[in-house]
């Protein structure tokens, strides 16, 4: 590849609050990153923590990488210590990786105040460590910590650290925006200046940006545009404080916007899947609004967007979502227009192109219902039922009709709380009455309804209530508060979400429940 994509999810990514990878997690993350096509995987700091030491040990036999090489991270030798005697330098070699990356101080203020040593000793620490590691056959990358802050304060000293690393045999010197305080123009200016001062070609430099100004991706792109050929990122931007440059946004920008050859062919289209899988392993909910790979990255809510998208999706998408393995979605809400309804219905397999009256009727109905607290954005199943109910000959025959339901909640002397529901429905020409108990009124209703319908619809057996969310919405314009219920149902293969709204939580739940069973039964009897 023309560029070195250096991933540090397992090292800097692990520095994010809330992440604690196990060794097994680390091995799984490394495999996914390799599959995604990065060139270097920084696995951690051997010797600093037992898990990282074990990871490198197990990687020797358990990790087969196709695209990437494994990198061990460490620091330059301690001040005043012989490099061969420094245990953490020894641990770096014992990790057995072909590449090592050492962090070096490059801001004179850090040298003097944090390391409490001299400018010259710090240069010697860099030289000794690089020479020693290269002498043991390692490719050596040097992360110059606080490079940009240091360069702005004392450019001669910071440049001399970079030069010392190169002269000692470092393959790459990585300029780190450790405090993440830079803006793209500052990066561009510093990159040009350090090349001039050191006389070293820009393509031997690397870039590592923290995200404290929310510019990590932009700063990385700026450095690459200035000629840098090695860039460090983390999956989903995980990292210390607000994080690092997000791998997926960075490679997408470089590949799709600048036309650079950064990943092997066919890898970029795995971005969305790999991003989600890595979020699962990190045990962090995927960021739905993440650029390129988030579930909402290509989700359109505004009616005007939909009307143009109907003509050509690229009129409102900056790239085709498929190039990063993502999908476009149309959201139906009070902001929908007829085009939104038409596109969403098409997404659900209903062609409304020849039905202008239905389009107008559904649009009006959605706006009215949403004004009353309904929300179809996350309830595709209820929206589909609404469309089918409005569509003349929409193939919709409700599988049952309610005569009445009754729910009782009984608090007994011994503290037990029992809910009991009775439903009276008509299904397939028959009147059925069923009673059931439940751990709450909604559960009792659900049980009673299933009991009544099961003899007619055995498919109901596989339906399970997967999630139940309740939100109380404050009333407006003098009306009282209403309750919105979102119900997620699963048949083991597919999930669908329905919505119900009413002043009474049981009635709101009933609406969502009826839609859930109606939709599930309609699906069960129609082809997937």
Ligand X SMILES: CC(=O)SCCNC(=O)CCNC(=O)[C@H](O)C(C)(C)COP(=O)(O)OP(=O)(O)OC[C@H]1O[C@@H](n2cnc3c(N)ncnc32)[C@H](O)[C@@H]1OP(=O)(O)O
If contact means CB under 5 to 8 A according to the sort of partner, which of ligand X, ligand CC(=O)C(=O)O, none does residue 208 touch? Answer: ligand CC(=O)C(=O)O
Number of residues that bind ligand CC(=O)C(=O)O (CB under 6 A): 8
The DSSP secondary structure of 411-452, one letter per residue, reads: E-TTS-EEEEEEEEEEETTEEEEEEEEESSHHHHHHHHHHHH
- Compute the least distance from the CB of residue 232 to ligand CC(=O)C(=O)O, in Å: 8
Q: How many CA atoms lie within 13 A of 142 on its CB side?
A: 33
| Token couple for 513 | 């429940």
Is residue 103 a contact residue for ligand CC(=O)C(=O)O (CB under 6 A)? yes
Give 7 or 145: the residue with its C-beta nearer to ligand X.
145
- Compute the least distance from the CB of residue 306 to ligand CC(=O)C(=O)O, in Å: 42
**What pairs with residue 104 in β-bridges?**
144
Is residue 129 a contact residue for ligand CC(=O)C(=O)O (CB under 6 A)? no
Binding site for ligand X (CB under 6 A): 45, 48-49, 75-76, 78, 103-105, 114-115, 125, 145, 178, 240
Is residue 72 a contact residue for ligand CC(=O)C(=O)O (CB under 6 A)? no
d(CA 327, CA 319): 11
If contact means CB under 5 to 8 A according to the sort of partner, which of ligand X, ligand CC(=O)C(=O)O, none does residue 418 touch? Answer: none
If contact means CB under 5 to 8 A according to the sort of partner, which of ligand CC(=O)C(=O)O, ligand X, none does residue 75 touch? Answer: ligand X
Binds ligand CC(=O)C(=O)O (CB under 6 A): choice among 12, 86, 171, 377: 12
If contact means CB under 5 to 8 A according to the sort of partner, which of ligand X, ligand CC(=O)C(=O)O, none does residue 498 touch? Answer: none
Q: Which of 362, 413, 414 is nearest to 386 (CA)?
A: 362
Q: How many CA atoms lie within 13 A of 403 on its CB side?
A: 13
d(CA 378, CA 488): 10
Give 10 or 445: the residue with its C-beta nearer to ligand CC(=O)C(=O)O.
10
Give 53 or 210: the residue with its C-beta nearer to ligand CC(=O)C(=O)O.
210
Is residue 163 a contact residue for ligand CC(=O)C(=O)O (CB under 6 A)? no
- Compute the least distance from the CB of residue 125 to ligand X, in Å: 6
Q: What are phi and psi of 266, to 5 degrees?
A: 85, -5
Cite the DSSP H helix spans in 84-154: 87-94, 108-113, 119-135, 147-153
Residues of span 205-264 touching ligand CC(=O)C(=O)O by CB under 6 A: 208, 210
Give 34 or 149: the residue with its C-beta nearer to ligand CC(=O)C(=O)O.
149
Cβ within 8 Å of residue 145, ≥6 positions away: 103, 104, 105, 106, 107, 110, 176, 178
Exposure b/e, 429-460, CB count within 10 A at least 16 = b: eeebebebebebbbbbbbbbbbbbbeebbeeb
Question: The sheet that has 482-490: what strands, in order across it?
Answer: 464-473, 482-490, 495-502
Give 76 or 158: the residue with its C-beta nearer to ligand X.
76
Strands 482-490 and 464-473: antiparallel
If contact means CB under 5 to 8 A according to the sort of partner, which of ligand X, ligand CC(=O)C(=O)O, none does residue 210 touch? Answer: ligand CC(=O)C(=O)O
If contact means CB under 5 to 8 A according to the sort of partner, which of ligand CC(=O)C(=O)O, ligand X, none does residue 424 touch? Answer: none
User: Between helices 155-168 and 119-135, what is the axis angle to 10°?
Assistant: 20
Give 145 or 420: the residue with its C-beta nearer to ligand CC(=O)C(=O)O.
145
Give 170 or 262: the residue with its C-beta nearer to ligand X.
170
If contact means CB under 5 to 8 A according to the sort of partner, which of ligand CC(=O)C(=O)O, ligand X, none does residue 76 touch? Answer: ligand X
Q: Which residue has the tokens 């409700």?
A: 398
- Compute the least distance from the CB of residue 215 to ligand CC(=O)C(=O)O, in Å: 14
Per the CB < 8 A criterion, the answer to whether 198 and 159 are in contact is yes
If contact means CB under 5 to 8 A according to the sort of partner, which of ligand CC(=O)C(=O)O, ligand X, none does residue 489 touch? Answer: none
Per the CB < 8 A criterion, the answer to whether 72 and 97 are in contact is yes
Binds ligand CC(=O)C(=O)O (CB under 6 A): choice among 106, 158, 178, 498: 178
Q: Which residue has the tokens 């709204």?
A: 501
Is residue 143 a contact residue for ligand CC(=O)C(=O)O (CB under 6 A)? yes
Cβ within 8 Å of residue 224, ≥6 positions away: 3, 207, 231, 254, 258, 260
Per the CB < 8 A criterion, the answer to whether 339 and 303 are in contact is yes
Per the CB < 8 A criterion, the answer to whether 122 and 105 are in contact is yes
Binds ligand CC(=O)C(=O)O (CB under 6 A): choice among 72, 89, 176, 522: 176
**What pairs with residue 142 in β-bridges?**
102, 173
Give 110 or 365: the residue with its C-beta nearer to ligand CC(=O)C(=O)O.
110
What's the chain's length in residues? 528
Q: How many CA atoms lie within 13 A of 332 on its CB side?
A: 30
Strand, coil or helix: what is 115?
A: coil
Residues of span 413-472 touching ligand CC(=O)C(=O)O by CB under 6 A: none
| Token couple for 103 | 């962090």
Give 49 or 258: the residue with its C-beta nearer to ligand CC(=O)C(=O)O.
49
Angle at 517 between CA 515 and CA 523, to 5 degrees: 100
Residue number with the shortest CB distance to ligand X?
Answer: 48
Contacting residues toward ligand CC(=O)C(=O)O, per CB under 6 A: 12, 103, 143, 145, 176, 178, 208, 210
């Amino acid at each position: 590849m023309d560029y070195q994509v250096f991933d540090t999810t397992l090292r800097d990514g692990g520095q994010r609050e809330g992440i604690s990878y196990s060794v097994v997690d680390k091995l799984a993350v490394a495999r996914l990153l390799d599959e995604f096509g990065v060139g270097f995987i920084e696995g951690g700091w051997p010797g600093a923590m037992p898990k990282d030491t074990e990871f490198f040990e197990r990687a020797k036999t358990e990790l087969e990488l196709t695209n990437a090489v494994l990198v061990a991270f460490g620091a330059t030798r301690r001040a005043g210590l012989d490099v061969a005697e420094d245990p953490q330098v020894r641990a770096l070699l014992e990790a057995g990786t072909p590449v090592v990356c050492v962090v070096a101080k490059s801001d004179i203020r850090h040298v003097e105040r944090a390391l409490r040593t001299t400018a010259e000793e710090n240069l010697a620490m860099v030289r000794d460590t690089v020479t020693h590691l290269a002498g043991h056959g390692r490719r050596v990358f040097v992360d110059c910590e606080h490079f940009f802050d240091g360069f702005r304060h004392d450019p001669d000293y910071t440049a001399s650290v970079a030069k010392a690393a190169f002269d000692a045999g470092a393959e790459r010197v990585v300029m780190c925006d450790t405090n993440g305080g830079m803006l793209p123009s500052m990066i561009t200016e510093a990159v040009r200046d350090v090349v001039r001062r050191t006389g070293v070609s820009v393509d031997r430099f690397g870039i590592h940006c923290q995200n404290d100004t929310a510019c990590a991706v932009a700063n990385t792109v700026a450095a690459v545009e200035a000629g840098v050929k090695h860039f460090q990122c983390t999956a989903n931007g995980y990292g210390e404080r607000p994080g690092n440059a997000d791998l997926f946004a960075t490679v997408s920008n470089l590949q799709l916007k600048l036309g650079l050859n950064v990943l092997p062919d066919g890898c970029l289209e795995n971005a969305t899947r790999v991003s989600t899988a890595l979020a699962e392993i990190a045990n962090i909910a995927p960021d739905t609004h993440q650029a390129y790979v988030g579930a909402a990255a290509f989700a359109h809510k505004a009616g005007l967007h939909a009307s143009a998208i109907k003509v050509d999706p690229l009129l409102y998408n900056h790239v085709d979502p498929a190039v990063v393995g993502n999908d476009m979605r149309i959201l139906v809400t009070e902001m929908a227009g007829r085009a939104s309804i038409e596109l969403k219905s098409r997404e659900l397999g209903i062609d409304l192109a020849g039905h202008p009256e239905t389009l107008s009727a559904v649009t009006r109905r959605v706006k009215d219902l949403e004004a009353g607290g309904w929300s179809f954005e996350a309830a595709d199943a209820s929206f589909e039922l609404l469309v089918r109910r409005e569509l003349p000959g929409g193939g919709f025959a409700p599988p049952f009709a309610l005569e009445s339901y009754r729910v009782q909640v009984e608090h007994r002397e011994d503290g037990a709380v029992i809910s009991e529901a009775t439903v009276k429905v008509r299904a397939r020409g028959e009147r059925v009455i069923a009673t059931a108990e439940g751990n709450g009124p909604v559960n009792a209703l659900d049980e009673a309804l299933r009991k009544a319908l099961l003899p007619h619809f055995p498919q109901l057996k596989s339906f399970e209530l997967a999630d139940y969310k309740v939100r109380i919405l404050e009333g407006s314009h003098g009306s009282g508060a209403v309750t919105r219920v979102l119900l997620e149902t699963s048949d083991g293969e597919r999930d669908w979400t329905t919505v119900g709204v009413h002043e009474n939580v049981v009635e709101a739940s009933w609406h969502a429940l009826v839609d859930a069973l109606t939709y599930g039964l309609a699906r069960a009897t129609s082809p997937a």
